[in-house]
């Protein structure tokens, strides 16, 4: 089966940046904000 690219590295970078901006916009104080990630496949994403 051929490999299919769904998001390019630039698409992923832009998506993560937008998600981060939305989190800050929706939680201006960040005092009670907690980010939780899943270990399986979530580690590379969380590291970014």
Q: What is the mean pLDDT of each run of 10 residues along the chain (48 residues)?
A: 90 95 92 81 73
Residue 29 CA to residue 32 CA, distance in Å, equals 8
Domain residue spans of the chain: 9-47
- CA pair distance 3, 39, nearest whole angstrom: 24
Residue position matching structure tokens 């089966």: 1
> Which tokens sit at 7?
């998001």
| pLDDT score recorded for residue 9 | 93
Contacts for 16-20 with beta carbons within 8 Å, 24 or more apart? 16/45, 16/48
Q: Write down the residue that tokens 């980010």 correspond to.
A: 35
Say if pTM beats, i.e. exceeds, 0.85: no
Q: What's the sign of the alpha-carbon dihedral 11, 15, 16, 20?
A: positive
């Amino acid at each position: 089966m051929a490999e299919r690219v769904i998001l390019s590295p630039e698409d992923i970078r832009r998506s993560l940046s937008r998600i981060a901006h939305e989190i800050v916009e929706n939680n201006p104080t960040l005092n009670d904000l907690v980010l939780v990630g899943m270990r399986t496949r979530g580690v590379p994403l969380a590291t970014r």
